[in-house]
Amino acid sequence: MEESNFIALSPSTRKILDRMKQAVSSDLPILFLGESGTGKSYLGYLFHSFCKDRFPQYQVFDFSVSESEEETSEIFSKLDGKAGVTIFLEAFSNLNPSFQVQLLQKIRNEKGKNRYLLSDQPDLTEKVKSGRLQESLMTEIQTLQVKIPMLRERKEDIPPLTRFFLDLIGKRYNRKNIKISEKLGKFLLEYDYPGNLHQLKNLLEAMVSMHNVKTLDTKHLPPELFETGYKQNDNLTVRTGIPLRDYEREIIRRNLILVNGNREKAARILGISERTIYRKITEFELFDSEDGKNLPSS
């Protein structure tokens, strides 16, 4: 994996890249913390590419799905006798206490022999307090932490990530030079992304697979998208002495622009019925002259 494949234009992701490079010369374990879909496993493999000279092999073990004690014992036995390996353990806090103790011993005993990378959700402190995570293990691994921001916190990275994902998806579907409209680009910048990077990639793939067009637009967004979290970041200045009606009109107007005039999608974003939004469109005179041709049925 090349460093150039890691999109790091925002200040937070540039700090991540710098911290990982600084950590290469250390023998301490690295703890990657981030919500689902933020790219923890991607960063783990990227870090391995930085230290291949010392640790040429790479192994991943995922504990996000509960394993039986026998299965977990088998995983740990695979680690015995290893040397020169970057070992990436996902969702390690799901291990039961006895295996957490074994992991702690392995990390201590194999320092300099293997490099341990661990990833999990950001709530590890709460797991320590509740007794689900051994405090001694947390103390051992918390020195070198890499905290991965959610996608909505790294807006500068969204345009190049979109281009990167579209290039990958285009190759898969034998489609070259897929573009996005200005309106869709604005939407992608403003969306909240509860599923982070994975959601952006899946969203783009859904549009490419369903619409054989050269330029993707907001009208190609899947309707299901508007049933999930959404965040409008185009600030609406609030001033005293202005009627609530004026704010309501502006909020509806902006959402209609965002979804290319699609009343159904705008209604889903606003949490109201399509009939209600049509009534508001009429009241505020927001529809185009031709829009009245397709009124909702009574």
Is the pLDDT assigned to residue 64 strictly greater than 50? Answer: yes
Q: How far apart are the first and last CA of the chain?
A: 58
Rounded mean pLDDT of 22-28? 95
Rounded mean pLDDT of 14-39? 94
Phi, psi of 216 (to 5 degrees): -80, 145
Is the pLDDT assigned to residue 287 strictly greater than 70? Answer: no
What is the structure's pLDDT at 120? 96
Is the pLDDT assigned to residue 293 strictly greater than 50? Answer: no
Decide if 39 contacts 199 (C-beta within 8 A): no
pLDDT grade, residue 247 (50/70/90)?
A: confident
Decide if 248 contacts 280 (C-beta within 8 A): yes
Is the pLDDT assigned to residue 59 strictly greater than 90? Answer: yes
What is the structure's pLDDT at 235? 55
What is the structure's pLDDT at 168? 94
Is the pLDDT assigned to residue 232 strictly greater than 70? Answer: no
Decide if 241 contacts 232 (C-beta within 8 A): no
What is the structure's pLDDT at 230? 45
What is the structure's pLDDT at 89? 96
State what percent of residues in the chain have pLDDT above 70.
88
What is the structure's pLDDT at 272? 84
Please compute, for residue 178, the number of CA atoms within 13 A of its CA located in the half-sphere on the CB side.
Answer: 26
What is the structure's pLDDT at 66? 67
According to DSSP, the β-strands at 144-147 and 30-33 are parallel
Rounded mean pLDDT of 114-125? 95
The lowest-confidence range among 30-34, 37-41, 237-241 is: 237-241
Q: How does pLDDT run across 256-275, given as a tens digit for each residue?
A: 877 777 888 888 888 788 88
Q: CATH number of the domain at 153-228, please?
A: 1.10.8.60
CATH topology of domain 3-149: Rossmann fold (3.40.50)
According to DSSP, the β-strands at 179-180 and 144-147 are unpaired
What is the structure's pLDDT at 236? 56
What is the structure's pLDDT at 231? 47
pLDDT grade, residue 2 (50/70/90)?
A: low
Q: How does pLDDT run across 162-207, given as a tens digit for each residue?
A: 999 999 999 999 999 999 999 999 999 988 888 899 999 999 999 9
What is the structure's pLDDT at 295? 41
pLDDT grade, residue 54 (50/70/90)?
A: very high
CATH fit for domain 244-284, picks 1.10.8, 1.10.10, 3.40.50, 1.10.260 = 1.10.10
CA–CA separation, 85 vs 79, rounded Å?
Answer: 9
Please provide the average confidence, as pLDDT, over all residues in the chain.
86
pLDDT grade, residue 289 (50/70/90)?
A: very low
CA–CA separation, 127 vs 132, rounded Å?
Answer: 5
Among 273, 261, 199, CA closest to 230:
199
Element of type H or E holding 277: helix 274-284
**Which whole-number Å values give the CA distances from 264 to 21, 80, 192, 267, in the listed order?**
48, 57, 19, 5
Residue type, 245: R
Is the pLDDT assigned to residue 226 strictly greater than 70? Answer: no
Domain boundaries, the chain: 3-149, 153-228, 244-284
Q: CB under 8 Å to 25, separation ≥6 — which residues?
A: none
